[in-house]
Amino acid sequence: MYQFLIAVRQDGNVLQNEDGETTSHLMGMFYRTIRILESGIKPVYVFDGKPPQLKSGELEKRGERRAEAEKLLAQAQEAGEQENIDKFSKRLVKVTKQHNDECKRLLTLMGVPYIEAPCEAEASCAALVKTGKVYATATEDMDGLTFGTSVLLRHLTASEAKKLPIQEFHFSRILQEMGLTHQQFIDLCILLGCDYCGTIKGIGPKRAIDLIKQHGSIEEILDNIDPNKHPAPEEWLYKQARDLFLEPEVVDCDTVELKWNEPDEDGLIQFMCAEKQFSEDRIRNGCKKITKSRQGSTQGRLDTFFTVTGSISSKRKVQNKDEPISSVYMNRAFESGEQPEMTNDESDTIHYGEINFSAVRTKNHSERSSGQEIIYAEVCHQGKKMNQD
């Protein structure tokens, strides 16, 4: 949703109706969802619940960065520096409860299901994957793997202009090739940096991987490193962070029923046209596309949506311990491809409202020809991770 608020603009400003209400998020959600449906992917949007208490420190840091952006914006405005004005204005974009509620209303009218996670949306996505409700979590945040999602997709909704191939990660294969258990992988991710606690000073990705392989846990690492050279944070809550990754608060998957309905065209016209002043012709045309996507039986593989690279090959070896890793953060330490391009405006900003996807595979393969499968997608609504390089 944050992506829509900064990208869907006219003359540098967010779209608004006659009452001055922002509508960029609705346009982005409407047309992206249609595009997904037309590609044979059935989206299920998952919205963040309350953040865990462990995240309070990270949220406080985000508030400080926001305050700094406000100061820099004021300086840019005083100096008349339009480029910096645009840059810092985007850093202050914030997804509100009203934005969330309006998107939920829009999805309901479009016939697309959504789920409200009790806590972190990605944790619920991982639970849905593990229980067979969905095929994969698709997100730009590798924390999905830390929460244990079986399959993770990246770049599923990247713009066509970027021409980024979809990357598919299989968690069991990652663990196998790295020679780690799930808990050891979590400890590694904590060492590399997460939202819930600090890190040990002077321990980068290469050193962290070596230490986990040698000692097996953070506890053993702490017993075998020089605390003066590599001090751990005071009152380091790594155990609590580990427990949160292992047993997060998630949606009750047994009660989840995923249903895609016909769009409520009259309701969409009332909401999007009468209330939000969108073009009636465009909204009706969108409804036709939704209906056609439901009626057509041409759903296929993900490569009908974007060019897809193969999943992580069993022949692909874990990065040699002597090879440099470009970032100290887990998001990049386990890349199978290149990091998605980020503009300067996006790369150093944290905002709630990033939209991520998960995908589910239909259980009914008997009606498909060989090599064909229906891929659904589940969208996670969560905080936008900051590039912490």
Residue with tokens 């999943």: 311
Question: Looking at domain 1-165+266-300+370-380, which of 3.40.50.1220, 3.40.50.1010, 3.30.2290.10, 3.20.20.60 is its CATH number?
Answer: 3.40.50.1010
Of 388, 281, 268, 349, nearest to 5 (Cα)?
A: 349
| Separation in Å, CA 40 to CA 50, 145, 301, 361 | 32, 25, 8, 11
Using the predicted structure, report yes or no on whether residue 106 has a pLDDT greater than 70: yes
Q: What percent of the chain has pLDDT over 70?
A: 66
pLDDT band, very low/low/confident/very high, at 44 (cuts 50, 70, 90): confident
Of 35-39, 134-138, 156-160, 286-290, the one with minimum mean pLDDT is: 156-160
Which is more confidently placed, 51 or 10?
51
Lookup: tokens for 349: 């900003």
Of 19-23, 81-85, 140-144, 379-383, the one with minimum mean pLDDT is: 379-383
Q: Taking the domains of the chain in order of start, what are their residue ranges?
A: 1-165+266-300+370-380
Which is more confidently placed, 265 or 235?
265
| Residue-level pLDDT at 337 | 32
